[in-house]
Chain A
């Protein structure tokens, strides 16, 4: 099993350009998440999905869109990149939500380093 993979690993954009980050998982997980991490800070949740065809906003959703057309894939889009979106982006997936007595181990991908000039 590859676990959680992210494409691309690195990207440099100019302000105003668009791009899509791809996250794929082969663990048949229902839940998928996109986070960003800025230097010296913890991860912040951008958007998440509780199943195929569903998406929801996280803590910092502005400037991003997501889609979950297939259970194994979760796409993060930047329509008009801004320098403030320079960050490392992590995707994660989990089998369950973790609510109640459920177990919520989130498996993380290796990250995508994005620089917006």
Chain B
């Protein structure tokens, strides 16, 4: 399984964009990048996923570099409720392999 590397923690001002980076340099051509988040010990929540192209949904945008070795999750207007642990996961087959994730603290 491809491994991912994320910063341990990040801070973001409320109302600003939060940009969460992820390195996945060993990713294979048919492996998808998924992002989940976990708010205060609740079950993780799906955010977005992508293969090659940039993706956007109502929650976030996902920017994947052309070589696919890294990606960035963008929360366009972070709110206090976005404070959570964000997991970047490379999926192959049916298994999600969670790392430690990035603790995002949104501050007023």
Which residue from chain B places its CB closest to the CB of A35 in the assembled complex?
B98
Interface string of B62-94 (1 = CB under 8 A from A): 000000000000000000000000010001111
Interface string of A24-46 (1 = CB under 8 A from B): 00000001000100001111110
Complex CA–CA separation, A107 to B80 (angstroms): 23
A95, chain B: closest CB distance, angstroms: 11
B interface secondary structure, majority: loop
Complex CA–CA separation, A108 to B38 (angstroms): 10
Asked whether, in the complex, the Cβ of A42 is within 8 Å of the Cβ of B100, the reply is yes
Residues of B within 8 A of A103 (CB): 49
Partner of B93, one of A59, A98, A101: A98
Which residue from chain A places its CB closest to the CB of B48 in the assembled complex?
A105
A interface secondary structure, majority: loop
How many A-B residue pairs have C-beta atoms within 8 angstroms? Tell me. 62
Asked whether, in the complex, the Cβ of B97 is within 8 Å of the Cβ of A105, the reply is no
- Interface residue ranges of A74-117 to B (CB < 8 Å): 88, 90, 92, 94, 97-101, 103-111
Asked whether, in the complex, the Cβ of B41 is within 8 Å of the Cβ of A99, the reply is no
Asked whether, in the complex, the Cβ of B93 is within 8 Å of the Cβ of A110, the reply is no
Residues of B within 8 A of A40 (CB): 100
Partner of A31, one of B30, B91, B94, B97: B94
Residues of A within 8 A of B (CB): 4, 31, 35, 40-45, 48, 50, 58-59, 88, 90, 92, 94, 97-101, 103-111
Q: 26 A-B pairs, CB-CB below 8 angstroms?
A: A31-B94, A35-B98, A41-B100, A42-B98, A42-B99, A42-B101, A43-B44, A45-B97, A48-B95, A59-B97, A90-B44, A92-B44, A94-B94, A97-B94, A98-B32, A98-B91, A98-B94, A104-B32, A104-B34, A104-B49, A104-B91, A106-B36, A106-B46, A109-B43, A110-B42, A111-B43
Residues of B within 8 A of A (CB): 30, 32, 34, 36, 41-46, 49, 51, 87, 91-101
